[in-house]
Chains A and B, each alone.
Chain A
Amino acid sequence: GENVGLHLPTLSVQEGDNSIINCAYSNSASDYFIWYKQESGKGPQFIIDIRSNMDKRQGQRVTVLLNKTVKHLSLQIAATQPGDSAVYFCAERGYSTLTFGKGTMLLVSP
């Protein structure tokens, strides 16, 4: 929704740059992590996921890196495009449900 981005950390990049969005997670027992993209007026959309037995996973223009030592997750977007402008959330699976981060707003300038 249009108010989702209020008070969120914001990353501003130029079109064509690479973007890195970071997320700190809380539960060292979490075994599965997901990145979501949320555009204005839409629900969160799945981008990429990774299990805790992996350090890196690549998709189309996106890469997720997992550092379990410091409980840190990052999303790298290559050659960022204006259509990538959105709020990005990480989520971790602990026991039976997902816990979501507060999100980062990505703004891409032409």
Chain B
Amino acid sequence: DADVTQTPRNRITKTGKRIMLECSQTKGHDRMYWYRQDPGLGLRLIYYSFDVKDINKGEISDGYSVSRQAQAKFSLSLESAIPNQTALYFCATSDAWTDSNQPQHFGDGTRLSIL
């Protein structure tokens, strides 16, 4: 979905390095999410933000931090990368839950490899 842009698309780095993954959206959505995808495990929620002043931990937040710089920008940081954080990372956005259906819309992911 070109409305949700993730950078970089691929990154290889070394254990102990600090890494930032960035996400920007043009959909005008208030809510943004970071997921991790590992083979056979599906998508697992790391952090989410319902507006600029709201940050919430997801299922697997340990070892990660986030920053919501603006409505359109949500970045994910690995303060000291370790090999088991090697995975595909996805950013998603959605409008607020109302009585209408509001699916999440995903970027095309960042493939992160930690050596």
Task: Report A-chain residues with C-beta under 8 Å of the C-beta of B26.
Answer: none
Structural contact, A89 and B39, CB atoms closer than 8 A: no
Query: Which B residues touch A70, using CB under 8 A?
Result: none
Q: Does B74 contact A (CB under 8 A)?
A: no
User: Given B39, B41, B90, B103, which contacts A43 in the complex, CB threshold below 8 Å?
Assistant: B90
CA gap between A91 and B105 in the complex, in Å: 13
Tally of chain B residues near chain A (CB < 8 A): 28
Contact assessment for B109 and A49 in the assembled complex, using a CB-CB cutoff below 8 Å: no
CB-CB < 8 A to B1: which residues of A?
43, 45
| Contact of A68 with B by CB under 8 A | no
Chain B contact residues, CB within 8 Å of chain A: 1, 4, 33, 37, 39-45, 48, 50, 56, 58, 88, 90, 92, 97, 101, 103-109, 111
Point out residues on A near B: beta carbons under 8 Å: 1, 3-8, 32, 34, 36, 41-46, 49, 51, 89, 91, 93, 96-98, 100-103
